[in-house]
Every structure is written in structure tokens, then in C-alpha cells.
Amino acid sequence: MQFVSLKEMKAIKDMVLKVGIYTRLSDEDRNKVSPEDDSRSIQNQKTMLIQYATEQGWDIYSIYSDDDYTGSDRNRPEFNRLLKDAEQRKIDIVLCKTQSRFTRELELVEKYIHGLFPLWGIRFVSIVDNADTANKGNKKSRQINGLVNEWYLEDMSESIKSVLTNKRINGYHIGAFALYGYKKDPEQKGHLIIDDEAAAVVREVFTLFAEGYGKTAIARMLNDRGIPNPTEYKRIHGLRYKEPKNPRSTLWKYFSISDMLVNEIYIGNMVQGKYGSVSYKTKKNKPRPKDQWYIVKNTHEPIIDMELWNKVQDIIKQKFKPFGTGKIGLFARKAYCANCGYTMMSSKNHGKYYLKCPSRHIAQNACIGSFISVEKLESLVIDELRRISDEFLDKDEVERNVTFTSHHSEQKKLIQNELHVYEKKVSEYSKGIQELYLDKVKGIITENDYIEMSNSFSIEKSRLQLLIEDKEKQLAQINDLIIKNDNKIKLVEKYINIEHLSRDIVEILIDKIYIYKRIEGTRNVPIEIHWNF
């Protein structure tokens, strides 16, 4: 009998390749019937990949699994954990069902599969589409996969957008969740029916406001009775809402009431499209102007009758004070309570304006309550602006410019170099296609060879053109940042000697301000300013 020494066993163990298995579940897998279907889809991927890894004799280091993320989302938590482990050489192989499970973006295919993974000594394998970086002749098919996936993302985005727009125009509800007070009609897709339990709360809110109660007072009344806010109500009733991290997030607040009182869905009109996506490559949304909303009248049963609705809208108009009229609007939607993160509200007492956290009034122990006069806050902001200006202007002009722009200039130079390389290669492929045609005409190559090689050149050229487009977008963003940096210098110099703030100046200079609780025994109120520069 032959024995294996401990040293030999260790050597054998060290030779075993460690594999990181990556699985992803997104909307393309879902039929939205039950959560069990989702877990089965992920489990099927895992079973297939574990079996494959076992057959190859690989050691499974970890399984990375992202649920409900698209292949273009770069913020997938498990995806980023996988990349971190790969960079730290904790794994030797990344194993996926298909390349598109890893990413649908051509840029990330080039960056990781063809760029960083080889540098890190990582092999990439996807078993269904037969992508394997250990096979050098396989690179072209991986690039084609990346190109096709990129086209798929864009085409799918436009297709979905077109379908959803058509549904919105025709008054069909397309949201993942119905507005509080309603639920989705199980008998008719895209139709809303009244949720009696929540609708009773909606009617109470409108009635109380019409009777003269304020929005904060209404929120406190609901909280005192233990009525869950709309988000918590949906979570309690089994919809896909995660457990709240902050207990205060289950409370009714001023803006929950404020938004409810002006929502036309409660009078039977379907209102959609208030936000639009920035790009098909990101889940980020931005507000759309009201004239671009989709409003279709009388699509479902109203909760609020028109008499009560009109009365509430008249009261809101009478109470409305536009931002920027006097001190009351100076820091509107800019000042936040540092304790609870809630927007500070304005009040007036003996001719002076104050900012206070309304959370302390919506429920007991909701917040310790920050408080400051607008005059005091204005003085603190001006003092801080002057301090920054003095510190900034102490520097030599050349040093100031380097501080602001050097990093961006380096980025710009790097992107320009990459662009030059890509553009040069595109030119070479264009020239190559022309030369192939001439060779075919001269009889140097056959028709079939010409078709095969020209198709290959065209695909590679298209891939590079996509990369060029992406780099040009990055370059435009860098140029914008450089321009903004130039504006920062002008801003600091422009407002160095100001005596008072205006609403316009606040909008230009300040992103947000966090107000802390006054320090006991003093008149000092600490603040934290987040500037726009």
C-alpha cells in the first residue's frame, strides 16, 4: 500500500482550483406568480453550476447570488463581492450559467473578462453559451455575446418603454404596487379597486384637513392610534417590502399627508409617469415636468368625492406660500434635522422666522427635535462661507487651479488616449474590409472567405464603436466637471463679501444643511453644510 505524505497532500490541495459560482435572478426569469418560483429559478442555476464544478474537480469557494437585479446593474451586492474576492485572488475561476448572467454590458465584458481577470489570473467560464477564457479561440464568441447582450439591453429597454407608454396612455395601472387606498384588481389587469381598510384612512385624512386640522396634526393623530403608514401597511399585508431599518420609517409624516391630499388618483383619475429613467443602464429616475405626466380621467372608482376634493384643494391654495418670498422660504427643502433626517419646517413667532423638526410632533419620542432661527442659520452659513473663502484665497492661484482640476485632467487624458486607440482600430478595420473586397475582386480570396472575414471585421468594428460612444460620454462628463470646477472658483470669489443670503444664492451654493440639537448650557446650534461646490 502506498501512503501519501502530509507535504504531498498539501501540494495536491494547493493544486485544486477554487471556483466562485455566480447566479442572478432578474425580471426576465419571473412570472410574478409566487416567491417560490423565484427561489426555484435560482436553485436550478446553483444545482447546474455545482454539478459542473464537481465534475471538473474544482473546489467551490463561495456561491454569489443576486436576486432581482438586471444584468446592467453595476451595484449588485454579490456581484461586487465576487469582484473583490477575485481581485484578492481568493478564487481561480468565475463560473456562471451564461455570460449575460455575469453582465450584459459590453464595457464590463472588456473590463473584467478580457481585462482584469487575466491580470488577476482568473478564468471565466459560462457553460450554456460555452464561453471560456482558457480557450483563446473563444474570445471572439465572447465579444459577440457581449455585443448581442448590449443590443439586447437597448432594444429591450425601448420595447418595454413603448409598451408601458401605450398602457399609460390608455389608463392602465402599470406600477408594482397600487397607491395606498387601492389594490390591484385580480379580475382585470391594470385596473385598481378600492381597499376598504386603507380607503377609510384616506377619507379620514381628507375630512380632517377640510375641518381645519394641519398636516402634522393629522400625522400625529394617526400615529397615536397606531395606524401604519402606507409603506408599513403594504409590508404587513404581505407585499414585497423589506423590514424597516429605522423604526421611525413606519410613522406617518407631514409629506405623507401632503402628497396624499393632492393625488388625483383618489378622485378616479390615473396619474403616472411622474418620474422617468435616466438611462437603460441604470435604475436611477428623475422627476418629469407635469405636462409630461400621463393623466387619464375616470379609470377607476374614486375614494374622495369631488365636493370634498375641491374643498381641500381650495384650502391648500389659500395656505400655499411660494419658496423665495421672504425669510420663510430661504432654506426651504434645504434644512434637515440631523437626528432623524426629516425636512425642517418653518414657523413664525413674534415676527421672527424659525426652522424646527416636525417629527417631534408626529409621535411621542419620534425625535429630540432640532430648532434654529432662520436669522441665526443665515449668519452661520455666511460665516462658514467666509471662512472657506479666506482659506481658499490664501492659496496661490496656480495651486487653487491644480487642486480643483488636476484629478479630472488626468482622467480626461486617459480617456482621450483610450479613444485614440479605439478610433485607430476602427479605421484599421474599415481599411481591412475595403482591402478584403479588393482581394475578393482580384480572386486572391474566395467569396466564402470574404464573407467570413468581413463579418468578423464588422462585428469587431461595431464592438469598438460602442466602446467609443461610451468613452465619448465619459469625456463629456469629465468636461462638465472641469467647467463646474472653474465655476467653483468664480463662485467662491463672487460671494466672499455678501451680507445677506437670497433664495437664489442658497439654491446655487447649498445642497443641504443638517441642523443638530442645541448644545445644553449654550446658545450654540451645530450645523453641517453640504455645499454644491
Grid cell of 479 as nine digits = 468636461
Alpha carbon distance 438, 433 (integer Å): 9
Q: What pLDDT does residue 493 have?
A: 65
CB 25 within 8 A of CB 64: no
Grid cell of 407 as nine digits = 484629478
**3 state SS of 510:** strand
Q: What is the dihedral of CA 74, 75, 79, 80, to 10 degrees?
A: 100
Burial class from Cβ neighbours inside 10 Å (0-12, 13-18, 19+) for residue 290 reads: exposed
Instruction: Work out the number of other CB atoms within 10 angstroms of the CB of residue 453.
Output: 16
Grid cell of 220 as nine digits = 400625529
Alpha carbon distance 150, 17 (integer Å): 31
Q: Angle 204-360-531 (CA atoms, 0-180°, nearest 5)?
A: 110
Grid cell of 370 as nine digits = 432640532
Alpha carbon distance 163, 146 (integer Å): 26
Structural element, H or E, at residue 36: helix 35-56
Alpha carbon distance 135, 154 (integer Å): 29
**3 state SS of 132:** strand
Grid cell of 25 as nine digits = 435572478
Structural element, H or E, at residue 139: helix 139-169
CB 147 within 8 A of CB 459: yes
Mean pLDDT for each 10-residue chunk of the chain (533 residues)? 48 71 71 46 82 89 85 83 93 89 80 86 86 72 58 56 75 87 92 94 94 86 90 82 58 88 94 68 66 89 95 82 49 84 81 81 71 90 81 51 56 85 86 82 82 80 82 81 64 71 82 88 88 76
454 half-sphere exposure, CB direction, 13 A CA radius: 16
Picking from 245, 247, 251, the residue whose alpha carbon sits closest to that of residue 228 is 251
Distance of CA 59 to the CA centre of its chain: 35
Give the residue carrying C-alpha cell 452659513: 381
Enumerate domains of the chain plus CATH numbers.
6-166 (3.40.50.1390), 170-319 (3.90.1750.20), 323-410+469-533 (no CATH)
Q: What pLDDT does residue 267 have?
A: 94
Alpha carbon distance 367, 357 (integer Å): 8
Q: Angle 214-517-527 (CA atoms, 0-180°, nearest 5)?
A: 105
The gap between the terminal CA atoms of the chain, to the nearest Å, is 76
SS3 string, 382-428, reads HHHHHHHHHHHHCCCHHHHHHHHHHHHHHHHHHHHHHHHHHHHHHHH
Picking from 412, 481, 469, the residue whose alpha carbon sits closest to that of residue 105 is 469
Q: Give the gyration radius of the chain's Cα atoms.
A: 30
183 phi and psi angles, rounded to 5 deg: -145, 160
**DSSP classification of residue 366:** S
Alpha carbon distance 506, 333 (integer Å): 11
pTM, 2 dp: 0.46
Cα–Cα distances (Å) from 345 to 219, 359, 404, 422, in that order, read 14, 10, 35, 53
Cα–Cα distances (Å) from 293 to 273, 296, 477, 528, in that order, read 5, 10, 28, 36
User: For the chain, give me the number of helices (H) and strands (E)?
Assistant: 17, 17
The residues that bridge with 277 in the sheet, in sequence order, are 285
